[in-house]
Structure 1
Amino acid sequence: MMRNVTTKRLNGRLRTIRGLVVAASLLAGPSVVSSAVIAYGQEVAGQQAVDLKSDVLQWVDELDADSLSKRKAAERALIDAGPAALEFLPKSKPGISIEAVERLSRVRKTLMQQRTESETESDAIRVMLDDVSTLGDALEAISRDSGVEFDHDADVSLAIDPVATPLSFWHAVDLVLDQANLDINFYAGDESTLKLVSRDPERPSRVDSAAYAGVYRIEPTAVTSRRSLNNPTLSGLNISIEIAWQPRVTPIGLTLPIAQLSGELDDGEKLKPQESGETIDVATNSDIAFSEFFLPMQLPAGQPGKIESLSGLIRALLPGKKQTFEMPLSNVGEKTLIDSMTVEIESLRPNGPLHEVRVGIELKDADRSLESHRHWIFENEVHVLRKDGSRADHLGYEVYRQTAAGVGIGYLFDLGDTAGESKLIYRSPTAVVPSEVSFVIQDILLP
């Protein structure tokens, strides 16, 4: 088989390079060894790409094989090859059967889903604080591993204890802020920057107050109980919650199913949700990495002192990696496809002294992301690059079409007489993937 031939060929090269490395180490020292190893790595990577392309094209041909078992095996082999095979999949293949077209479509959809899931999983980064000793070191390490910056006026020489094990983003941030006596002002930051401020003296430990789940940090901030004497059905216990997500990973359509909420009280009784609907919808915004809501629970019958544990489920669509679309404004009607997203300049026309650029955006397998939760697409970066290299930001937009799978947006630009020689730059996540994580909050004091 092709795999065996490839493996033998690469093993032969490996033995040859190993021999060269040993000889080089005897004659010229470690620097030559390093160069040889790097060169070998580059050669192997290039050869693997060539071999993968050859395999992918062969498997695509076998999607139309005479034998059903061979067709199924080819589809499975393409999926097992993983997202790296996507760049070698043909967009279409003339002359193949309808069944082969359907199999190729399934393969592409599965591999794109795998790639998006991989990207969103990698967004739930792990932070290493094993080699830090000061606040400056710790914040630099978090920025290095997450891409999130910190705006602050604190003393960077403050001592911070190192941590040997990898931490989630929010756990790492909270450990550092607890030691530095700092807190976060979410309203003063932006999509990739957190503003650090001095902590209120009465503020409890951030680590002890929060639960961590995936890219989220969940913290109860207040508990209010209400007993209605003339209509007991109106009695209840509301738990105010602050939920933060890792900056640069803004969830889409964040919801909590009420039926999944449950709690344990310190008197041994269960805490149940009120019958107030099916889900709790949480508003999200890319510039502010947190939101607030409350959990509607039934009023306990006894006199418990605290909720020992409160569990639930967070559902959302997480955006995949952002990609950049570059399209000449002169190419009206030409579509550009990246991953699951298609962007088209539908028209370019004068609008008084300005120009209106009408852009159509379609997202395959959009799920709920372009229904009631489509606000994220209006926050995408859009500008025009003029011929001289200068940038023109849009002066406003109007939505002229909305469907379950796409939108049409008209952007206004001041382009003068350079419109026909300019390019539209559109930057957006090109896929979304459903995400579901459980959380448990412990030791919530009751009034």
Structure 2
Amino acid sequence: MPFRYLVAWGLLLLMAPAVADQPRLSDEALADQVDRLVGRLESDESLVRDGAQQELLELAGDTWQSGDRLLAALPHPDPAMPVALREAVAGLRSKISKHIADTALKASRVSLDLFKTPLADVFKQIEQQTGNRLLDYREQFGQDAQPRPITLTVKDKPFWEAMDAVLDQGELGVYAYAGESALAVVNREPDDGPRRGAACYAGPLRFEATQVVASRSLRKPNQRSLDVKVEIAWEPRLEPIAISQQMSDVEARSEGGVALSLLRPEQEINLETQQGTQSVEVSLPLVLPERKTEKIASLKGKVNVLAPGRRATFRFEGLDAIKQPAEQQQGGVSVTLNRMVQNGVIWELHMRLKVSGAGDALASHRGWVFQNPSHLENAKGEVIEHAGFETTMQTQDEVGLAYLFELEDGPKDLTWVYETPASIVEFPVEWELGGIELP
């Protein structure tokens, strides 16, 4: 083997500690490591370049959140770069973007071997395997919170399928509005049916038809509709911003395979999620079929999900000393503190949030911006919550807000703290339900 290849192999061995075995790097440490590896992409040795590319791809990890962190740390292709480096960086960004989309689509997997296991211990096992928080909410509802021992074996099943099996055995249900990034569990209503068999599982989402409403106008016989309500639930770890369903992507068929017509095939249904909720409901309008049609044998579609990537925290210190707009940037997000304006004891904090390549995240779905945490801290670290906010401007990729704070002593020695997703990920999820009985 030529000496130069021996040297290259030596370099690879020196820089080859397994990324998977390393603890999670801080943002600063990750940026330093990415800079070093990108520098090696310019090496004259192909083995060194290939090794650097492989290590960079390994830094993407097993989740879309870790891939998103890496993408934020990786430079964009720049005309000032040498052609080979620019092409290598572009190729890496493309592979990492595909990794993000692929991993976002995957459901968390669960394996359980339970014998009369207390519910709290079952929840703990599921949380450890999936990162999804589970809450026993029975006491909050004033319900009987006696232990529900679970005996069940589940082997490598999607989160929702495993969760439905646990809930069915424990005669439990879900409360989707706990106000936390967690799934709240309550006692099941006496007339509730089993969850398993009623839903389909698609990646991190669960789809279930919950209601069918038939309507016919007696004055206008041709005006007849069939609304199918479908609940879309998500794994708590996902925290989507919005879910949209193009009616042109919906297809319904009867038991005989006859296509059921869509009432408004051109419609796009946009659903913005509320922080602390775990599901939304979409109503799909179909044309009411003939009376001989007893069931929808197949109802399928494709939703697009907008979900936040890694979160970033911005801190603006010494508010009383800021006389000019102050801007901070992390990843593809920039936050600008424009000014503080006094109106009696109320101080208005004017800010702007800009998201590069926001797409529909800001153009069509701005509700998530209004849910971003924003507060002041004094020198003792005590938190001062805002009393409300007003929208001051909106563009395709930027939103301006004025947060209102009651400050008797003004903004002296105060720090503004703002938290927001540093990126938004969009991915499609295909789903299909069947056996929906018609009224």
Q: TM-score range by the shorter chain?
A: 0.7 to 0.9
State the 1:4 CA deviation.
2.4
Call closer, same or farther: CA 1:414–1:115 in 2, change over 3 Å: farther
8 Å Cα contact 2:37/2:52 also seen in 1: no
Gaps of 5+ in 2: 61-66
Residue 327 (str. 1) matches residue 316 (str. 2): yes
Query: Residue type matched to 2:230 in 1?
Result: I
Which residue in 2 is equivalent to 1:136? 120
Call closer, same or farther: CA 1:374–1:102 in 2, change over 3 Å: farther
8 Å Cα contact 1:358/1:411 also seen in 2: yes
State the 1:113 CA deviation.
4.2
Which residue in 2 is equivalent to 1:182? 172
State the 1:361 CA deviation.
0.7
Tell me the alpha carbon deviations over residues 186-212 of structure 1, each in whole angstroms, 9 at most, x when there is no partner. Answer: 24x113244433222221111221122
Call closer, same or farther: CA 1:276–1:445 in 2, change over 3 Å: same
1:428 to 409, 420, 423: 420
Which residue in 1 is equivalent to 2:11? 6
Residue 404 (str. 1) matches residue 387 (str. 2): no
Residue 255 (str. 1) matches residue 237 (str. 2): no
Tell me the alpha carbon deviations over residues 250-290 of structure 1, each in whole angstroms, 9 at most, x when there is no partner. Answer: 33342111122112322342333223533222242123222
1:224 to 213, 219, 225: 213
Which residue in 2 is equivalent to 1:149? 134
Tell me the alpha carbon deviations over residues 309-358 of structure 1, each in whole angstroms, 9 at most, x when there is no partner. Answer: 21111112121122222221345533222221111211123231132221
Moved more, 347-356 or 368-377: 347-356
8 Å Cα contact 1:313/1:438 also seen in 2: yes
Query: Residue type matched to 1:361 in 2?
Result: L
Tell me the alpha carbon deviations over residues 351-381 of structure 1, each in whole angstroms, 9 at most, x when there is no partner. Answer: 3113222121100110111123101110011
Call closer, same or farther: CA 1:321–1:3 in 2, change over 3 Å: farther
Call closer, same or farther: CA 1:381–1:248 in 2, change over 3 Å: farther
Quote the Cα distance in structure 2 between the aligned partners of 1:293 and 1:87.
34
Call closer, same or farther: CA 1:177–1:300 in 2, change over 3 Å: same
8 Å Cα contact 1:79/1:110 also seen in 2: no
Which residue in 1 is equivalent to 2:343? 351
8 Å Cα contact 2:347/2:410 also seen in 1: no
State the 1:110 CA deviation.
4.8
Query: Residue type matched to 2:240 in 1?
Result: P
Residue 298 (str. 1) matches residue 287 (str. 2): yes
Quote the Cα distance in structure 1 between the aligned partners of 2:218 and 2:397.
49
8 Å Cα contact 2:37/2:56 also seen in 1: no
Query: Residue type matched to 1:148 in 2?
Result: R
Residue 56 (str. 1) matches residue 42 (str. 2): no
**Matched ranges for 1:61-210 at <5 A:** 96=80, 110=94, 113=97, 117=101, 120=104, 124-131=107-114, 133-144=117-128, 145-150=130-135, 151-153=137-139, 155=145, 157-187=147-177, 189-210=178-199
Gaps of 5+ in 1: 15-40
Which residue in 2 is equivalent to 1:27? none
Quote the Cα distance in structure 1 between the aligned partners of 2:240 and 2:146.
32
Which residue in 1 is equivalent to 2:383? 391
Tell me the alpha carbon deviations over residues 387-426 of structure 1, each in whole angstroms, 9 at most, x when there is no partner. Answer: 1111111111111111110111111223444624222111
Quote the Cα distance in structure 2 between the aligned partners of 1:192 and 1:50.
32
Tell me the alpha carbon deviations over residues 56-82 of structure 1, each in whole angstroms, 9 at most, x when there is no partner. Answer: 1243x68xx9xxx9xx99998898575
Call closer, same or farther: CA 1:200–1:380 in 2, change over 3 Å: same
Quote the Cα distance in structure 2 between the aligned partners of 1:304 and 1:87.
52
Quote the Cα distance in structure 1 between the aligned partners of 2:76 and 2:413.
29
TM-score by length of 2: 0.79
SS of 1:130's equivalent in the other structure is strand
Query: Residue type matched to 1:269 in 2?
Result: V
State the 1:130 CA deviation.
3.4
State the 1:300 CA deviation.
2.5
Query: Residue type matched to 1:444 in 2?
Result: I
Which residue in 1 is equivalent to 2:436? 444
Quote the Cα distance in structure 1 between the aligned partners of 2:55 and 2:121.
44
TM-score by length of 1: 0.77
Query: Residue type matched to 1:146 in 2?
Result: G
Higher-helix-fraction structure: 1
1:316 to 305, 312, 321: 305
Quote the Cα distance in structure 2 between the aligned partners of 1:400 and 1:108.
39
Residue 279 (str. 1) matches residue 268 (str. 2): yes
8 Å Cα contact 1:119/1:321 also seen in 2: no
Moved more, 285-294 or 143-152: 143-152
Tell me the alpha carbon deviations over residues 24-66 of structure 1, each in whole angstroms, 9 at most, x when there is no partner. Answer: xxxxxxxxxxxxxxxxx779x999998764331243x68xx9x
Call closer, same or farther: CA 1:120–1:156 in 2, change over 3 Å: farther
